Amino acid sequence: MHVQLTRDPLDAYLAALCPDKTPGYAWSVTDGSGRGGRGWGGRAVVDPEVVPADEDTLFDLASLTKPLVTALLALQAEDSGELDLDSPVPGVSGPPFTYVQLLRHEAGFPAWVPLYAFAAGRDGARQWLLETCPRGIPGEKTVYSCPGYLLLGLILEDLLHESLDRLFVDRVAGALGVRPEDACFAPPAGLRRRTAATERGSFHEADMARQFGAPLPPFVEPAGWGQVNDGNARFLDGVAGNAGLFATLGGVERLVTALRPTVGFLSGRALDRAWRPSASFRTAGWKAAGHPGWAAGAVLPPGSLGHEGFTGTGVWLEPGGGKSYILLTNRIHPRHPGTDFGEARAAFLLAAGGVT
| Distance in angstroms (rounded) separating the CA atoms of residues 332 and 55 | 20
Burial 319-353, CB ≥16 within 10 A → b, else e? eeebbbbbbbbbbbbbebeeeebeebbbbbbbbbb
pTM as predicted: 0.96
Q: What is the pLDDT of residue 203?
A: 86
Q: Where are the beta strands (DSSP E) in the chain?
A: 24-30, 36-45, 51-52, 59-60, 183-185, 245-247, 287-288, 305-309, 313-317, 324-329
Q: What is the pLDDT of residue 5?
A: 41
Taking 70 as the pLDDT cut, the residues of the chain under it are: 1-8, 354, 356
Q: What is the pLDDT of residue 298?
A: 76
Q: What is the pLDDT of residue 2?
A: 33
| Distance in angstroms (rounded) separating the CA atoms of residues 162 and 207 | 34
Bridge partners (DSSP) of residue 52 are 43
Burial 171-202, CB ≥16 within 10 A → b, else e? bbbeebebeebbbbbbbeeebbebbbbbbbbb
Q: What is the pLDDT of residue 356?
A: 60
Q: What are the tens digits of pLDDT across the range 27-68?
A: 999 987 778 899 999 999 999 999 999 999 999 999 999 999
